Structure 1
């Protein structure tokens, strides 16, 4: 039963070779070639209703960025994937962490990202090499996922083991000494194919397109490894286990300052962080799940997972500060952080007829335990009597001072939280034209701060939707949903409401939309009009101390953010040779009931964005890609004092596939990003903006079996 299969021999060879583990690279499943018939079009998603559902029967907008696009663009960061959805705008990349806004609301690293449908701590650069696709669920998702921001969620779906043997190896070489080598091996480990595994390893090394102020290079090294195993216990029960590890050592680039008189970055090619400033990440994710068919009507899926993330970050830049103890010097900090994310869930799904209609019923519970510990130390170095003397002594850079170390901190800063939910959702099919969705979540959340203050919250989160299908290839829907985010008590002792507990921030969505499959179901188009309101936002106002017992401020929860927008998207084939993935969004986002920000727009939220990626396939095995990305003007801060210019970036690529035989392909690919060498600014503030990279290149060789 467990004789050595071709896959077992291949995996053994990979594991036995340190050289392969040290230099490995990224690609997609060979079966994606078959999937090319859909031209980026995804018929189903798993995020919106926590079970597989067609796009037409999903009351809401879910974009799916599949592995074919990821592979064609040679994406290695989540930002490079998400640029294909116009609903998402990029924020700051300070401390080497990507930040995003979805429908204008900033995504939270602890509650806005999922890996295979469960919460995932996203404080690091995500291992794209492990992903089959990325699903973007738009709008509040409190019903099924609990605490989350009102803009929506990003669900990163992992690659799965395959029944047939697949071996994909690729080598990327690009600008700024970029190299990435990836091996992806998958298939059955026994003759009856009940035991399947997938091994993925990748090594990436790169220099920055910017150089440090002292002339040294800014470098990043990253290793990714993942093992995924499926075992069919019998015909009705499957056990899945997974383990993946990401180890990254990266020099810091916290962005550039903007000259507000010109709108340009100051010294755009220069990194102002010291040569020892870097972030070292070590992230392990592991878990198990069981999927079982209980009978012809009911199935159950349950799983547990743990994410352990350890980080050391050292920071210092080339700016002189006034030392609180006298004189002037350079700030230096060193910190060690540990996060633990434990998740568990049980979902029962039933498909049955009752009371003359069909029900797809989901009943489930899920929970998350979050634990965080930190050690931190900081100080000044090169301290002199004047600012000029400090610059003269260390203005060309300096080494990490030995007296600053997180190990000097004898008191661990500790915080934790627990999040639990019971949810019921029913998709009722009344007839061929009408479907109704209804659901409710009962949520309990408890937080304990580093000062040992406890807060608990109980929330009831409903969702309602209706779907009308005027034809078999189209649907029109309306949906209402909610989200919430806990808010800690007021801690400012000079505030009139000091110590007062706060209600959770609440998000509400009203949306109508339509979806259609055209050209014999080869092109999917979708559109929506929506309004999301986030309420219970804290607003702090100055008060007269003489009339308020010496208190200087009053904090209340009267603030709101109202985002009204229109989205359009299209994915699939326009002709037999031309496929595309395109999207656009118009958004009016503003603060309300806030004296300081009334009518202003949140930072890094453009009014108009558009994205298109296309492929034209010639009959000789050559594909040509064209990508165009437009981002409108954005404010750098919520005070709306300065706007970054709009920009349009053009990317191109060409690939040629040589079919050696029916199972073996050789692919050569060449990509150019920012073809016209456009100058532009991405996310970030006037004190730390991301400078867009100029024209850059990547060449790739792939072997697919």
Structure 2
């Protein structure tokens, strides 16, 4: 009997999956003539009959799984204005929910059965669901801002190996791989972003330069949040943020393995195991493990070696959804290939990028232990409590030479090494209240408390050495550096942020209005140990960050939106009179449109933005001790992206950003905005089709590029434009999925954007990657 019951459950789940995907099922007839607005009235009755009657009265295609509604009784419905509103009233308190079908109409499903499916980001290039970056539960399509999402499906198809690979799909983002000084870093719309994990602050916010470090095997999606998001993250991140969302368990019984190999001795394996662990499917678990090794990277430096272990538990029923997980990983990466500008000709030194500069054993090691939870509980109908937490420990060790020019103009390499040991704790808790104010007005409110703290301890190697480089040519002899052990802590910093916030969402007619404000308190302490411990310097600041937005649904497929957000970064620098200078402020304004295409299988976001920074620290040229606030930087531009399925089998993910950057205050040391190309674009397109019975295949192509950019603050050095074309071929047969890709197929020499002329990243040459994956069950 147990086996039979399990089989029945699996069959019901499979049937429901077909219902949601195809948007067609049996027991609903639609009347030829639908009711007018406000005319849908259905008394309490058996749920299946009520849903059928709503479909008849509204003329809407209403679908449901008979097993999900069996034995349930509906709530009475009076004068509902739409089929969706009528269904919501009929199923209230039943454990059912209503979702749009892909090909039109509505589908009623059981909340518990929904856990049998993986998140849409793992199976599609288009994401519509609400995310950790929004506290109102709005889907991305309904948020009044331009947010770009890069899904696990895209990451897998593109064979991305790190966060820098992933972010080349993102418009307005300038990403920099491992440099001689730090791990991955990136800017959004011209301002540095430290990165979030599941919507929470990690140790990168508190001085550890590791970016949003997270192995790709455990990434469900990467959300590129454009504009200041102080309501979410507090101080800092003035141009936007990168939110890495980790994968979650579901009730789907699934064990998948994959293997990758490729150029430079790449070998990588991933195991992904997932299943319900209780008979009622309420408790599920997932374990993801990966390991990777390379002989060397494309710059000839230390090959990437890393491993990951990520277990996660999830409890989900009609009222509760709790995820508890961990991510433990250790990775070593060689510094990226790079070159320099000649300080006399101001031209890039053309050299063989596959040969290391000075020494091959230069690399960066990042060890991370991350523990997190995310809990949502419905207290009463329309009221939810959401609590999220994160503990993060990161050890970043850099063993690399700083190459540049001495004061005499001689090319030198300084070796010492550095280490950053940091930790962070984050907590975010809020109440979300949803209510109807009459038939035509809906309101949602959330009020909450946000806390984070972090610390970073910095050490340097005990031995400092400067070597004169005779040449950067490929024939120059290489040195094996005997790296120095690290000394005691030289600088210790800590920080703490607390914030209280409130948001309101009002929906009426075709309009959604969103407004919010956050009051933030920030504390920082620092202590140096160069000549014995200094006194502990403790400083405090506070600030207010308002934000607002509006979205107007002009038609069922076209929406117009606008938003405003104020970002703030604490400043503790003293003016000449001893007073503390005001916080750095940005004001971000954006307006645009969102368009659904091809039966809502694809979405276009297009916007114009204007972001301005004020209160940067300026110095009086006549008196270096006289510091004062002034206008800083401005960026204005257009941001366009599209994601989804254009035709059956044909999917596209594309972005284009054009930004005009300008400094609002210039001086003898700074006249331009460095490291920011005017144009950045990417187009990734796939086509898949059935080839024969049980055999399918396809191809993909990707174009990634950017315009030229300045490599120093005076505009004396210019990095040329770059573009790269990748291609992949896919084949699925007998349960195996094969993917062979060629990256930089035309083997172009591309240089990455940079802010210093003594470090110019060189992008990867032509390379091959081959992946094979198999779902065992």
Matches within 5 A, 1:306-705: 306-316=391-401, 331-354=414-437, 357-381=441-465, 396-400=478-482, 404-407=484-487, 409=488, 412-431=490-509, 433-451=510-528, 452-490=536-574, 497=576, 500-543=579-622, 552-596=624-668, 600-620=671-691, 621-658=696-733, 660=734, 665-684=735-754, 685-704=756-775, 705=777
SS in 1 for 2:580: coil
The answer to whether 1:278 aligns with 2:363 is yes
Match of 1:121? 203
Unaligned runs of 5+ in 1: 7-28, 389-393, 491-495, 545-551
- CA displacement, residues 334-353 of structure 1 (integer Å, 9 cap, x when unaligned): 43321010111211111102
Match 1:245 to one of 299, 315, 328: 328
Aligned pair in 2 of structure 1 residues 353, 85: CA closer, same or farther (>3 Å)?
A: same
Residue 97 (1) aligns with residue 183 (2): yes
SS of the counterpart of 2:143?
coil
- Once structures 1 and 2 are overlaid, which stretch shifts more, 355-364 or 150-159? 355-364
Deviation at 1:568, TM superposition (A): 1.1
Q: 1:230 to 1:30 in 2, by over 3 A?
A: closer
1:336, 1:461 → 2: CA distance?
34
Q: Quick check: which has more Rg, 1 or 2? A: 2
The alpha carbon displacement at 1:354 in A equals 3.7
Supply the distance in 2 between the matched residues of 1:437 and 1:319 (Cα, whole angstroms).
Answer: 50
Give SS of 2:647's match.
Answer: coil
User: 1:148 is matched with which residue: 236, 253, 276?
Assistant: 236
CA distance in 1, matches of 2:714, 2:333: 32
> What are the Cα deviations for residues 621-653 of structure 1, in whole angstroms up to 9, with x where unaligned?
111001011211111122211111112211100
* Deviations 1:185-236, CA, capped at 9 Å, x for gaps: 1111222222211101111112444455xxxx5222111110111134x642
Structure 1 position 178 matched with structure 2 position 269:
no
Call closer, same or farther: CA 1:208–1:36 in 2, change over 3 Å: closer
CA contact (8 A) 1:48 1:58 kept: no
Tell me the matched-pair count: 638
Aligned 8 A contact 1:56 1:475 in 2? no
CA shift in 2, pair 1:272/1:373, >3 Å: same
Is the 8 Å Cα contact of residues 404 and 411 (structure 2) preserved in structure 1?
no
**SS across alignment from 1:471:** coil
Counterpart in the other structure of 1:106: 192
Mapped contact 2:704–2:723 kept (Cα < 8 A): yes
Cα distance in 1, alignment partners of residues 741 and 239 from structure 2: 32
The structure-2 alpha-carbon separation of the partners of 1:424 and 1:405, relative to structure 1 and needing over 3 Å to count, comes to: same
Deviations 1:73-121 (A, max 9, x none): 11111111111112212236313612212122222x3xxx111111123
Structure richer in strand, relative to its length: 1
Partner Cα separation in structure 2 for residue 339 and residue 273 of structure 1? 30
Paired with 1:31 and 1:601, the residues of 2 have a C-alpha distance of 50
Structure with higher RCO (Cα < 8 A, 6+ apart)? 1
Shift of 1:267: 4.1
CA contact (8 A) 2:263 2:768 kept: yes
Query: Taking structure 1 as reference, are residues 630 and 251 closer, same or farther at Cα in structure 2, changes over 3 Å only?
Result: closer
* Unaligned stretches of 5+ residues in structure 2: 7-114, 471-475, 529-535
- For residues 228 and 452 of structure 2, what CA distance do their matches in structure 1 show? 19
TM-superposition CA deviations, 1:456-504 (whole Å, max 9, x none): 11111111212211112221111111111112324xxxxx728542221
Q: Deviation of residue 584 (structure 1)?
A: 0.5
Q: Distance between the aligned counterparts of 1:329 and 1:475, measured in 2?
A: 56
Report deviation, 1:152.
0.6
TM-score normalised over the length of structure 1:
0.84
* CA deviations over 1:388-438 (Å, ceiling 9, x no partner): 8xxxxx96424416xx4224x3x552110110111100110122x122111
Judging changes above 3 Å, is the alpha-carbon distance between structure 1 residues 554 and 254 closer, same or farther for their aligned structure 2 residues?
farther
What is aligned with 1:10? none
Match of 2:148 among 41, 63, 81: 63
Distance in 2 (alpha carbons) for counterparts of 1:207 and 1:246: 20
In the superposition, the TM-score normalised over structure 2's length comes to 0.77
Deviations 1:42-91 (A, max 9, x none): 22342443243123321111111111101101111111111111221223
Match 1:82 to one of 143, 167, 170: 167
- State whether structure 2 residue 231 is matched by structure 1 residue 139: no
Q: 1:683 to 1:32 in 2, by over 3 A?
A: farther
CA distance in 2, matches of 1:482, 1:639: 29
**CA pair 126-174 structure 1, distance change in 2 beyond 3 A:** same
Change (3 A) 1:276 1:71: closer
